[in-house]
Amino acid sequence: AVMVAPEASRLDVLINSVALTATPIAASASPASLSIHVPSGVLRRGANTIEFRATQRHRTDCSIASTYELWTRLTSDSVTLTFEGENLGQIVDVTDLAAIGVDAKGTTTVRVLAPDFINPDATNALMRLIQQLAIALRVAELRIELVDELTAPPTPGTLDLVVAPFGGLPKQFSALREQAAGAGVASMDSPVDGNPTLVVSGPGWPDIMHSIEAMAPSMAGADRPRIDLGRTLVRVDGHSETSLANLAVTTTEFNGRRYADQFQFDLPHDFYANRYGQMELVLDAAYSADVLPGSEIDFYVNGQIASATPLLRTDGGLLRDTIIRIPMKSLQPGRNVVDVAVNLLTESDQVCSPGWTGTAPTRFVFSASSALRMPMFAQATTEPDLRTLAANGMPYADRSNVQLVISDDKNARIAAMVMLARMAAAAGKVLPVTTVPEAALSPSDDAIVIKPLSEMSSVTMTRVGLSTGASEASGDERVLTQFGSGRPGGPLAPAINWVLDTAGLSMDDLRVLPGRQSLYAPPPGSITMTQLRQPEGGLWTAVASPDANSLISGTPRMIQLDTWRKVAGWVSSLNGDQLVVQQPFAVHVATSDPFNLVNLRLVAANWFSGHILSFTGLLTLAAVLLMFATSPVLTQIGRRK
């Protein structure tokens, strides 16, 4: 930004926590290039973390408001690593598949050569192998292309995959035919004139499947985080305390006006405490006597303000083991992000002497010895819940078998592979899917249906909550009711609305029985995910579009990072750039251990917090029962005349 003062602002670059450079930020007129030498010994085998840290000072202003005028942007397509040496780009082991990396757009592509692609056994093998590759490549978004031959020139971020029985191997792999004719084989090669190539073959598809399963442990890479996460997320369980140092937070001495930091952690897939309770941040920090009242420390959880702690002392202060209570209503299963923002008002900034902006002494210290203290929380699964599927691949990742229904169209099958790869990357494990004909679906078992609505039977559409016609909330009804607030009307409306606003409630909070779930009609050109629990017990998830072209083009847009992290509810429909999410009326809650009384009490606390009238009715019933129970005793006490 133009307002960044280059003499007092700098960009720090670190690799694996080793500082490589601290260069002035001086590129307000046009982008500037920077070349940094990486000393020997800094890089290591496996995952490496590169960090960019910007310290920015304003040219003329010393107010907190002026800090929002400061920004530094890195053009991602020009940030590259350049290596020198022999055998560069040679990947000969599946444990190093993550080194394939991404292209200039941040995409990893798998080019699939499978002559027998439509064969059901081939489909099952490919569905499993693609999931393993998504985990091994450490990418959230995987692009898959179906090719007829491997003739394209080598391109960055691309893996060629050949899967076929020995008789169907292309001629350039004739040397493997004899070996594959006797037993299953998996070979990794990096030809000079081509992309890294993984070949999986054998006498038949059962042998190929066995080879794929045998590769799984080598492709797991549990110690290698996904590219979009940067670091492996630390799992935080109930009744635990985790130091922020374990969450990649470093102790910082700060002399500016607005300090910002962030840390992430992972919660179990069955986290069920979003309506009650508080977690605690045990804060270790200090600030100087220059800091004025009105300064504050703000914490945001998943983008929602969760706590604002003012700094009231005027003679400086030491915040040692200071407890900051943060409501857990913004927490969710899977990845959670906590942003820390410290806004500092100081006497020296009010004077704002020339040159002061870059020479101010330390005024705030944020210590990595601070800790996140999580109380015991309820653990229960809720169905339907697409958010849990998107975050952890659950509950399918823990099942022994999941039915999979896909289209007969080749490109639509590629879309199904892309979607399964995204779910596997979220789960960190392979979803055990088996393709079945749509007519053979068992409603008592879990299922994933990835098909266009034009190829889906009416029975299946109804079971996954979809329709091709206008739903009750569409058409003229939707247009006529678009300005409605969903609040009660009539002569008592002001009084009712006042009570609701005062108590912070909505009409949904006062619902006793769940509303009727209507079918959802996806708009033309959209892609929709739905999830419903079947009366027979199975949990069915559908990924559908009105036609095959919409499914093929919509799947890559649905799995994009920003969109995928917003998937939730029982319906998530992406139309253009707009994601529509509908929450279910009826939710099935289940615990893994029904005899754990402590957990059952916590589950009940969370459930009743969202069902106020049910809780009120239970209290009323308890009072009536207590009255009848004590009545015989009270009638025997005292004189009767």
Q: For the residues of 585-610, what is the DSSP string, one character each?
A: SS-EEE-S-TT-HHHHHHHHHHHHHT
> In the numeric block, which tokens belong to residue 142?
């995987």
Outline which parts of the chain fall under CATH 3.30.379.10: 381-470+515-589
pLDDT of 62 reads 84
Amino acid residing at 206: P
- Three-state DSSP at 388 gives helix
For residue 98, give the nearest of 154, 11, 159, 151 by alpha carbon: 159
Query: Residue 435 and residue 446: Cα distance in Å, rounded?
Result: 12
* Integer CA distances (angstroms), 128 to 125, 347, 417, in order: 5, 63, 9
Share of the chain above pLDDT 90, in %: 55
The whole-number average pLDDT for the span 204-219 is 91
* E strand or H helix at 582: strand 578-582
Reported confidence tier of residue 521, pLDDT bands at 50, 70, 90:
very high
3-state class of 368 per DSSP? Answer: coil
Gap between the Cα atoms of 256 and 343, Å rounded? 9
What is the band of 133 on the pLDDT scale with cuts at 50, 70, 90? very high
The secondary structure of 155-178 as a DSSP string is -TTEEEEEE--GGGS-GGGHHHHH
**CATH-assigned architecture of domain 381-470+515-589:** 2-Layer Sandwich (3.30)
CB 236 within 8 A of CB 374: yes
* Calpha distance 183→201 (Å, rounded): 8
Task: Please determine, looking at this structure, whether the domain spanning 94-219 carries the CATH number 3.30.379.20.
Answer: yes
637 by DSSP, 3-state: which? coil
CATH T-level assignment (fold) for domain 1-84? Jelly Rolls (2.60.120)
Query: What count of Cα atoms within 13 Å lies in the side-chain half-sphere of residue 380?
Result: 26
Contact 407, 452 (CB under 8 A): yes
Q: Which phi and psi angles does 327 have, rounded to 5°? A: -60, 145
User: How much of the chain, in percent, has pLDDT values that exceed 70?
Assistant: 91
Integer Cα distance of 450 and 531 in angstroms? 12
Q: What is the mean pLDDT of the chain?
A: 87
DSSP element (H, E) containing 364: strand 364-366
Model pLDDT for residues 224-274, shown as the tens digit of each residue: 788 888 788 999 999 999 999 999 999 999 988 899 999 999 999 999 998
Listed in sequence order, the DSSP H helices in 456-596 are 458-463, 475-480, 493-503, 548-558, 561-564
- Indicate the burial class of 194 (C-beta count within 10 angstroms; 0-12, 13-18, 19 or more): middle
pLDDT band at 489 (very low <50, low <70, confident <90, very high): low
Indicate where the chain has its CATH 2.60.120.260 domain(s): 1-84
> What was the pLDDT predicted at 474?
46
What is the pTM (predicted TM-score) of this model? 0.86
Residue for token digits 């705030």?
A: 364
Q: Is it the case that residue 221 has pLDDT exceeding 60?
A: yes
Portions of the chain given CATH number 3.30.379.20: 94-219
For residues 283-305, give the mean pLDDT.
92
Read off the pLDDT of residues 472-486 as tens digits, 9 standing for 90 and up. Answer: 444 444 444 444 555
What's the pLDDT score for residue 473?
47
321 vs 474: which has the higher pLDDT:
321
Query: What is the structure's pLDDT at 15?
Result: 94
DSSP conformational letter for 602? H
Residues linked to residue 340 through DSSP beta bridges, in sequence order? 261, 299
* Mean pLDDT, residues 510-515: 60
Question: Looking at residue 511, what is its pLDDT?
Answer: 63
pLDDT at 475: 43
Q: Give tens-digit pLDDT for 373-403.
A: 999 999 999 999 999 999 999 999 999 999 9
Phi, psi torsion values for 294, nearest 5 degrees: 105, -20
- Confidence band (pLDDT; 50, 70, 90) for 568? very high
Query: Partners of 406 in the beta sheet?
Result: 450
